[in-house]
């Protein structure tokens, strides 16, 4: 099979003959150790936990350690590129610091309230369920890489950043006022810029659903008096919805 890897401005092709059950990460390690030691990529846990091996495989952002060859082979070829939306440092390694800066903007941490006297916090199972899945995010950036809203506005905060916001809004132990959290996600690059393409849901290797989280955040924001600062400019008066005239449809 042929593995095409984006290296700088060009694709470099490697012809290899390995077990089709290998992961893409094993393919990259094979190429690095047996064919070309200059190939550069990030990886650590090899178990879909650390989030460091995300890259674009046949056009879609995925974890190299989670995907195997047979699932991704098209006409006996696999194409591998660095994550989109980020400056490339070398080969498949990108500088993702901008996405981390955006994450910091939404305060992705718990500021604990004082626990009840002589007790620890008591959390109901329903509450845990409201942020359990969101805590599975491993910050791999696959959703960010495939996000359509970031193609329109590079300042859009990003899918996993909003998932983090919902995770802490739903946590009754958090002392950060709701309005403070909503202020952070309704200004520049805000939740209303989401295009609802669901690419983030498709990309997530952990089953997190950022677009659903964004929808929930939009509802919470609207219920608390926030508005979409840039509502869609639909001119319904000039739109022709169709109808009848004497001759039939017009
Ligand atoms: S649904 Fe929204 S957040 Fe998710 S990828 Fe599309 S535009 Fe981005
Ligand atoms: S939401 Fe999913 S795809 Fe996005 S950073 Fe977290 S784990 Fe990765
Ligand atoms: S190496 Fe850790 S997620 Fe792939």
Per-residue pLDDT tens digits for 99-129: 999 999 999 999 999 988 888 899 999 999 9
Tell me what pLDDT residue 243 has: 44
Residue 167: CA count within 13 A, CB half-sphere: 22
**Residue-range domains of the chain with CATH:** 2-94 (3.10.20.30), 97-223 (1.10.1060.10)
Q: How far is the CA of 160 from the centre of ligand 1 (A)?
A: 10
Confidence of residue 161 (pLDDT cuts 50, 70, 90): very high
ipTM above 0.95, yes or no: yes
pLDDT in tens, 206-249: 999 999 999 999 999 999 999 998 887 765 554 454 444 444 44
Q: How far is the CA of 79 from the centre of ligand 1 (A)?
A: 24
Say how far apart CA 178 and CA 184 lie, in whole Å.
10
Bridge partners of 90, per DSSP, are 93
Say how far apart CA 162 and CA 172 lie, in whole Å.
18
CB 106 within 8 A of CB 63: no
Tell me what pLDDT residue 225 has: 97
What letter would DSSP give residue 191?
Answer: G
Q: Report helix angle 97-105 to 159-169, nearest 10.
A: 30
Tell me what pLDDT residue 241 has: 46
User: Could you tell which of 63, 80, 92 is best to mutate to test the pocket of ligand 3, judged by most ligand atoms within 8 Å of the CB?
Assistant: 63
Average pLDDT over residues 180-191: 96
CB 169 within 8 A of CB 220: yes
CA distances to 35, 81, 191 from 40, rounded to whole Å, are 13, 12, 35
Bridge partners of 61, per DSSP, are 56
Tell me what pLDDT residue 230 has: 80
| C-beta of 218 in contact with ligand 2 (< 6 A) | no
Average pLDDT over residues 37-49: 98
For the chain, give me the number of helices (H) and strands (E)?
10, 9
Tell me what pLDDT residue 191 has: 98
Tell me what pLDDT residue 236 has: 53
Name every protein residue with a CB atom under 6 angstroms from any ligand 1 atom: 147-149, 159, 194-200, 210-211, 214
Tell me what pLDDT residue 229 has: 84
Indicate which ligand has the atom closest to the C-alpha of 163.
Answer: 2
For the stretch 59-63, contacts whose Cβ atoms lie closer than 8 Å and that sit 24 or more positions apart, written own/partner, are 60/146, 60/202, 60/203, 61/141, 61/142, 61/143, 61/145, 61/146, 61/203, 62/24, 62/142, 62/203, 62/205, 63/140, 63/142, 63/205
Which ligand 3 atom sits nearest the alpha carbon of residue 51?
A: 3
Q: How far is the CA of 92 from the centre of ligand 3 (A)?
A: 14
User: Could you tell which of 23, 52, 93, 139 is best to mutate to test the pocket of ligand 3, judged by most ligand atoms within 8 Å of the CB?
Assistant: 52
Average pLDDT over residues 27-39: 98
| C-beta of 163 in contact with ligand 2 (< 6 A) | yes
Tell me what pLDDT residue 215 has: 98
Q: How far is the CA of 217 from the centre of ligand 3 (A)?
A: 29
For the cut 90, the answer to whether the pLDDT of residue 40 exceeds it is: yes
Mean pLDDT computed over every residue of the chain: 93
Average pLDDT over residues 171-180: 97
For the cut 70, the answer to whether the pLDDT of residue 205 exceeds it is: yes
For the cut 90, the answer to whether the pLDDT of residue 32 exceeds it is: yes
Tokens representing 30? 């094979």
């Amino acid at each position: 099979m042929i593995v095409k890897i984006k290296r700088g401005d060009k694709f470099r092709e490697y012809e290899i003959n390995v077990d089709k059950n290998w992961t893409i990460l094993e393919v990259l390690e094979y190429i690095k150790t047996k064919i070309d030691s200059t190939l550069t990529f990030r990886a650590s846990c090899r178990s879909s936990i650390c989030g460091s091996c995300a890259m674009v495989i046949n056009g879609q952002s995925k974890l190299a350690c989670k995907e195997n060859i047979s699932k991704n082979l098209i006409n006996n070829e696999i194409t591998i590129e660095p994550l989109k939306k980020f400056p490339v440092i070398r080969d498949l390694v990108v500088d993702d610091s901008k996405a981390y800066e955006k994450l910091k903007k939404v305060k992705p941490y718990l500021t604990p309230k004082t626990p009840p006297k002589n007790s620890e916090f008591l959390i109901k199972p329903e509450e845990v369920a409201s942020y359990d899945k969101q805590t599975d995010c491993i910050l791999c950036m696959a959703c960010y890489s495939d996000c359509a809203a970031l193609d329109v506005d590079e300042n859009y905060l990003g899918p996993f950043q909003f998932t983090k916001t919902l995770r802490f809004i739903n946590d009754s132990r958090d002392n950060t006022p709701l309005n403070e959290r909503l202020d952070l996600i309704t200004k520049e690059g805000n939740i209303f810029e989401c295009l609802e393409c669901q690419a983030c849901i498709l990309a997530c290797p952990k089953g997190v659903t950022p677009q659903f989280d964004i929808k929930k955040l939009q509802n919470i924001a609207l219920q608390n008096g926030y508005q979409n600062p840039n509502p869609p400019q639909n001119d319904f008066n000039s739109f022709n919805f169709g109808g009848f005239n004497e001759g039939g449809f017009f």
